[in-house]
Homo-oligomer: A and B are copies of this chain.
Amino acid sequence: MSWTQTVETNRLTLRDRFRTTRAASVAMCEPLAAEDYRIQPIAEVSPPWWNLGHTSWFFARNVLAGFGGQRTPEDDQLEYLLNSYYASFGPRIERFRRGLVTRPTTDEIYAYRRSVDRRMEHLLETAADEHWADLAFVTEVGIQHEQQHQELFYSEIKCILAQNPVDLRPAYREATTSAQVSHGPANCQFVEVQGGLVEFGNLQGGWCWDNELPVHRAYLPDFAIENRLITCGDFLEFIDDGGYQRQLLWLDNGWAAVQQAAAQQEAQHKAWNAPLYWEHRDEQWWLWTLGGMRPVDPAEPVCHVSFYEADAFARWRSETFDDYRGVRLPTEQEWEHAARYCSEQAVEKGPAAVNFLDTGRLHPEPASRSRGGVQQMLGDVWEWTSSYYAPYPGYQPFPGALAEYNGKFMDNQRVLRGGSCVSERDHLRLSYRNFWAAATRFQFTGFRLARDA
């Protein structure tokens, strides 16, 4: 096994990062009732028990088993249930059945977590120096993997709680005061960005996913990009103008998704007539948040829209307003270039006020009316781009079983950039590539528009 990257990490530092990350997974589940751990409303939304178990299995299978760590009988017993999609590790439960098993119990999963923690910490402290580089690398993958599942958790628990009838639906936690109705959004403006033969990918080095490499050049024409995210208020105009009823605004597959949602009645496939989690009651639009139901705030970024809805909005806006003629979703190159050089959060992993998970808001925030520049590139909502999730030129998957991590999913998915209000701050990078199928709505997804220069 030879890794394409090296992570140079002090043993204690890595152990502490491991410990912190593992603890965060436990902490995020604290508000849950026992019932909330076991439900899988749609195949894409795994139940929290599985989330907690799978992230532990990932260390047991990839680190402990690969580097001479201690194995326990539970490792074997749980293999079938906790392997997500690694064909190279053998048979595994169908994804849609994760919500149909009642064993291991949630308590047993917590015990298994603690067992893996003990064994991992022991391994990190005692592994031979000659294997340290590889061990550190795979451990880092496991930590990053767990951070991804933490982000997933917030979208999953939002979806899980939303299955309950409104009258009985518990909030994940109390509403935060800052998220109340604001004083109107910042003005929307286009910021011109100069292109050229530009470098893309993980320019600053350090650990990253295989899909962010190699660093490569691509030619980028000049373009302009909006200084803030599309808001709920913007999107309400689209709804009020019949956007969900006008076939000519939609991609063919997008319109098919609208039609299909109207005909089906499965969980979360409700009619598409507004973003997911919006409900029209008493002559106004309400919104389901992790802090409970509240009226839609026109100033805050629209969230939980699919790529198709974002694309239809862009076409509507382009055709409806002269000022917006030619607007479209940005490519991922445009997004990355603008974020790197023209954003107020320009410094990679910049310290600017970004609404990541650590702000505790768990919901996107309105853009500032006072700040200039391109706002909200990081945090708040994942931003749909028009780019497909494709390998960069010269792409090399991680070696071994981890080759299955990213590469095999590079088909018919769109890239999202920038992280969201439920992303860990130290998990994100400007070069970070998230990806979902175009009809996905349960993630914290929004968008901004761009146009040719």
Out of B102, B168, B251, which one reaches A160, CB within 8 Å?
B102
CB distance from A161 to the nearest CB of B (A): 7
Contacts of A35 in B (CB 8 A): 34, 37-38, 49, 102-103, 105-106
**Residues of B contacting A393 with CB < 8 Å?**
221, 452
B388 close to A390 (CB less than 8 A): yes
- Tell me which of B168, B250, B254, B267 contacts A103 (CB under 8 A): B168
In the assembled complex, A27 has its CB within 8 A of some CB on chain B: no
Which B residues are in CB contact (< 8 Å) with A87? 247-248
In the complex with contacts A101-B164, A221-B216, A250-B34 CB distance below 8 A: no
CA gap between A106 and B35 in the complex, in Å: 8
Q: Mark A29-62, 1 if CB is under 8 A from B, else 0.
A: 0000111111101000000010000000000000
The reply to whether A408 and B88 form a contact with Cβ atoms under 8 Å apart is no
Binds B, one of A77-85, A131-139, A185-193, A368-376: A77-85
- If over half of A's interface residues share one DSSP class (helix, strand or loop), that class is named, otherwise mixed; here it is mixed
Interface residues of A in 371-404 (CB under 8 A from B): 386, 388, 390, 393-394, 404
Q: Is the CB of A100 within 8 A of B38?
A: no
Instruction: Give the contacting residue for A164; candidates B103, B411, B438; CB below 8 A.
Output: B103
- Is A265 an interface residue, CB under 8 A from the partner? yes
Interface residues of A in 169-226 (CB under 8 A from B): 169-170, 197, 216-219, 221
The contact size tier of chain A is 35 or more
A291 within 8 A of B: no
B33 A102 Cβ-Cβ under 8 A: yes
Cβ of A93 within 8 Å of any chain B Cβ, yes or no, is: yes
With both beta carbons as reference points, the residue of chain B lying nearest to A401 in the complex is identified as B248
The answer to whether A100 touches B39 (Cβ under 8 A) is yes
Task: Tell me, yes or no, whether A167 is within 8 Å of chain B by CB.
Answer: yes
Q: Give A116 to B264 CA distance when docked, in angstroms.
A: 36
Taking a contact as CB atoms closer than 8 A, the residue among B78, B386, B411 that contacts A438 in the complex is: B411
Residues of B within 8 A of A409 (CB): 251-252
Q: Is the CB of A103 within 8 A of B169?
A: yes
- Complex: A38 Cα to B103 Cα, angstroms: 12
**Cα–Cα distance between A251 and B403 once the two chains are bound (Å):** 12
Residues of B within 8 A of A125 (CB): none
Min CB distance A249 to B, Å, is 10
Residues of B within 8 A of A101 (CB): 39, 163-165, 168
Lowest 9 CB-CB distances: which A-B pairs, in order? A35-B102, A219-B219, A103-B168, A87-B247, A412-B412, A103-B164, A252-B408, A388-B388, A34-B34
Interface string of A63-93 (1 = CB under 8 A from B): 0000000000000011011000101100001
The answer for the CA separation of A411 and B253 in the assembled complex, in Å, is 7
* A131: min CB distance to chain B, Å: 25
CA A196 to CA B254, docked complex, whole Å? 36
Assess whether B251 is in contact with A77, with CB atoms less than 8 Å apart: no
> Across the interface, which residues of B come within 8 angstroms of A247, CB to CB?
87
**In the assembly, what is the distance between CA of A140 and CA of B265, in Å?**
37
Q: Are A267 and B100 in contact (CB under 8 A)?
A: yes
Give chain B residues whose Cβ lies under 8 Å from the Cβ of A102: 33, 35-36, 39, 160-161, 163-164
Check if A347 is an interface residue, CB within 8 A of chain B.
Answer: no
For A35, A102, A169, A411, the residue with the greatest tally of chain B CB atoms inside 10 Å of its CB is: A102
Q: Which interface residue of A49, A255, A393 has the most chain B CB atoms within 10 A?
A: A393
Q: Would you call A97 an interface residue if the criterion is a C-beta within 8 Å of the partner chain's C-beta atoms? A: yes
Q: Contacts A35-B37, A35-B103, A39-B100 given; 11 further ones with Cβ under 8 A?
A: A87-B247, A88-B248, A93-B165, A97-B163, A102-B164, A103-B168, A216-B221, A250-B408, A253-B411, A255-B408, A388-B390
Q: Contact check: which of B38, B78, B251, B408 meets A411 at CB < 8 Å?
A: B251
